[in-house]
Amino acid sequence: MTIEQATSILGQFATWFTLIIVFLTLREMEKQRKASQKPELIITNISLHGYYKDDDDMHIISQWSNIQINDNKTDIIKGPKIFIYNIGAGAAKEIKIKWDFDIQGTIKHIQDYSYHNSIPIIVSTHNNFLHIETKDRKVVINVKLESNPEYAYLMPASITSQGLEVHLPWTFMELLSILVFIGKHQLDKKSNDGSVVQLEDSFFEFPTLHCGLSYLDIGGEKYSKKFDVTVTMFAIRTFEKEFNSTKPAFNGMVEFKER
């Protein structure tokens, strides 16, 4: 092999080596660019408080809030809210939330228990609405089954600490009220039997709510997350003769666990 041939081969190797370095550099720059615009959405756990209505003879929780109320009940009317934050480096856009749980199984459980225990509560679905009715039609509730809100964008928490405030689905909350009532009814029945009752015996079993979260980054790449949402009860209060409607009847927590 002549010196000229050897020099040519070394030159080709140098060219290929340079091309590889350039390629790796560009790929790393692309990764950094994507990382700089990647959003990362999280959902934080919240406290949950339930309240009896002043004129409710059946003592079913009818108002919920994620903050404990003292004197005024304005925030109860607005309903319990969760908070979504963007801890990523880039903005999220076209944010879609999909709620889902075993609504038919939950309704059947309520129907069966109400029938066997002569509780005057009627729960059914019709024309994409949840219908709840109590004795003498004193309480009639109609709630749309679907609750899939959408939001235009969410900036990173490094730019703004303002997260998205999203209401928990009213269908779930209305059925949760009935399930708490059923749990309390079971607890009262067992107490009347003279047996020792502890909350650990768990009469208060609530369905798992599922939350699907999808969104895009500014480059149009799609991301998705799924959460299992559980409600844990810490304390329950019975309806008292000296009733204070601003005192919570239910204290608990809503927890989000990413799958």
Question: pLDDT exceeding 70 applies to what percent of the chain?
Answer: 71
Q: What is the pTM of this model?
A: 0.80
The 10s digit of each residue's pLDDT in 177-200 is: 999 989 888 877 766 654 444 554
pLDDT recorded at residue 197 = 45
pLDDT recorded at residue 236 = 82
Domain span at residue 199 reads: 37-258
Structure tokens at 208: 């798992």
pLDDT at residue 19 above 60?
no
Looking at the domain assignment, is residue 31 inside a domain? no
pLDDT band at 232 (very low <50, low <70, confident <90, very high): very high
* Least confident piece of the model among 139-153, 173-187, 193-207: 193-207
The 10s digit of each residue's pLDDT in 66-75 is: 887 766 555 5
Looking at the domain assignment, is residue 1 inside a domain? no
The 10s digit of each residue's pLDDT in 42-51 is: 999 999 998 8
pLDDT recorded at residue 14 = 60
pLDDT recorded at residue 143 = 87
* Whole-angstrom distance, CA of residue 157 vs CA of residue 41: 10
Structure tokens at 233: 């009860």
CA distances from 154 to 138, 166, 231, 257 (A): 42, 13, 26, 21
Looking at the domain assignment, is residue 231 inside a domain? yes
pLDDT recorded at residue 30 = 54
* Whole-angstrom distance, CA of residue 120 vs CA of residue 102: 23
Mean pLDDT of 128-135: 87
Structure tokens at 214: 């999808």
pLDDT recorded at residue 204 = 80
* Whole-angstrom distance, CA of residue 178 vs CA of residue 141: 12
DSSP three-state, residue 199: helix
DSSP state of 28: H
pLDDT recorded at residue 253 = 94
Q: What is the mean pLDDT of the chain?
A: 81
Question: pLDDT exceeding 90 applies to what percent of the chain?
Answer: 42
pLDDT recorded at residue 74 = 53
What's the total number of domains in the chain?
1
Looking at the domain assignment, is residue 26 inside a domain? no
Structure tokens at 166: 């999203």
The 10s digit of each residue's pLDDT in 66-119 is: 887 766 555 555 678 999 999 999 999 999 999 999 999 999 999 999 999 998
**Tokens 């994620």 sit at which residue?**
66
* Whole-angstrom distance, CA of residue 115 vs CA of residue 121: 9
Longest dimension (CA), the chain: 108
Looking at the domain assignment, is residue 27 inside a domain? no
Looking at the domain assignment, is residue 112 inside a domain? yes
Scored b (16 or more CB within 10 A) or e, 126-148 reads eeeebbbbbeeeebeeebeeebe
pLDDT at residue 211 above 80?
yes
* Whole-angstrom distance, CA of residue 46 vs CA of residue 251: 11
Looking at the domain assignment, is residue 189 inside a domain? yes
